[in-house]
Chains A and B, each alone.
Chain A
Amino acid sequence: MKILLIFFIIFQAHAAPPPWREATPKATGVKAPEWEAFLAYAKSTEHGFSTNALMVIYKGQLIEHSTFNGFKKGQTHRQWSVSKSITSTLIGIAIDKGLLTLETPVKRYYPLHKNTKYSPVLKELLGMSSGLDWNEGYESNPLKSSVIAMLYTEGFNDMASFTAARPFRAIPGEEFYYSSGETNLIMGMLKKTMGQNDYSNYPWSQLFNPMGIKSATWEKDSSGTFVGSSYLYMAPEDLAKIGLLYLKKGVFQGKRLLKKEWVEYSYQLSPPFLKFSQKKIDESEKSRVETYGAQWWLNADVPGFPNTHPYPGLPTDAYMALGHHGQVLLIVPSKDLVVVRNGADKDSKMDRVKFFDLLTKALP
């Protein structure tokens, strides 16, 4: 009887229907010439970038699902900094379970720089505003790059401790600057709330298994902390499921996995953006500001400064997980849209503004 039950469970797991229906773009009302223009750009190879996988789920229907360059459907792909947004998902679950709060101080778990009077808390790490000094340049500035030092030289044994020990360059919560170290510090704090076995299973027990995600690999540093900033690997099809989880405000195939309030918190502007001044916008020498929530990139305007959202073609409720070499998970609630694009653009030449603009022009 037990064996029969096990077979039944295995059969059910394999028989789980995909969370989308397949449809032609035309059936969903997509405008044909504009859609072709979008696909031509996304799939082109003459612009110095190269797409490995492209998925578009519009109104619950999969209208585009292609792979290129020998990359197969269902094959695990590097997601680089898309990992940060999935780290945020795990933190939302951990907060719901009472393991952490937005006000949990870093110093409860990791010693800070010896001369500091500051005490950053979890919500400031989520919003990339801890005040801990950081230089995120990769190939552009390898000698001064904090992220290269963390991943490959001084920090790879314990990335959270490496980050926590950085000197401060700003008051926590006051300045936004993107830091992969902060995400690994978040993952380190999560680790300290439970035993190593529970922690090693956490992404699977809390998120991947309930969603039927089977392609995920999440690498750790030598201290056993998940490299939340960079080292999640997952098939584009599974990443699209995460997109649908957010699109449905934390519910996946009828099952609530994430609180609605956490999904909404994810795309609230990180506090430094609420304190933006005209001077700061002038200093950036750009009319557009790349805005950020809780480990998610946003397309929101800076409050008080209309039309500063970074992607003019996209609705302002769009938010996204973005990774090195052109990884994209785009969620647009007002369009009922999820897009996954995986690539290996070493020169980062894909123009995301153009990519998003062409896409939204094709939608009714």
Chain B
Amino acid sequence: MKILTLSLLLFLTGCKFPKAVSAFYAKEVCSCLFVVGQEEEYCHEYGKQIIPIWTKEIDRKAKTVKAYGLWESTSARFISSRAGCIIEK
């Protein structure tokens, strides 16, 4: 309940932090999977924060991670072994 109230407050006040919830998950899970080469379960735990994401889509073939939380969505994409992952939007 506390998390829900806080989430709503952040959304209503126009604070930019909500974007961080999905962006952190998408970017860091992308790097965890496709740069470090860890298992999906480990990476999901790694991407967890106090405020959880609501949904996620991992496309192993396209090497992308999309996350949705606090009314914000973020995609991250693996580029190459040198350049790793990047937040797309």
**B17:A156 contact, CB within 8 angstroms:** no
User: CB within 8 Å of A: which of B47-89?
Assistant: 49-50, 81-87
| Interface flag for A341 (CB, 8 Å) | no
Q: Complex Cα distance A75/B36, Å? A: 7
| Residue count of chain A within 8 Å CB distance of chain B | 26
CB-defined contacts of A152 to chain B, threshold 8 Å: 19-20, 23-24, 27, 87
The residue from B16, B27, B31, B82 contacting A216, defined by CB atoms under 8 A apart: B82
Closest to A217 in B: B84
CB-defined contacts of B84 to chain A, threshold 8 Å: 217-219, 231, 233
The segment from A141-149, A175-183, A261-269 that touches chain B is: A141-149
User: CB within 8 Å of B: which of A212-229?
Assistant: 216-222
Known interface pairs A156-B87, A216-B82, A219-B86; A148-B20 also in contact (CB < 8 Å):
yes
CB-defined contacts of B87 to chain A, threshold 8 Å: 152, 156, 222
User: CB within 8 Å of A: which of B6-65?
Assistant: 10, 15-17, 19-20, 23-24, 27, 31, 35-37, 46, 49-50
Known interface pairs A78-B31, A217-B84, A233-B84; A149-B36 also in contact (CB < 8 Å):
no
CB-defined contacts of B83 to chain A, threshold 8 Å: 200, 217-220
Known interface pairs A139-B49, A217-B35, A233-B84; A156-B16 also in contact (CB < 8 Å):
no
- B: which residues have CB within 8 A of A? 10, 15-17, 19-20, 23-24, 27, 31, 35-37, 46, 49-50, 81-87
- A: which residues have CB within 8 A of B? 75-78, 139, 142-143, 148-149, 151-154, 156, 200, 204, 216-222, 231, 233, 344
Q: Which 7 A-B pairs have the closest CB atoms?
A: A152-B23, A219-B84, A152-B20, A217-B84, A153-B19, A153-B16, A217-B35
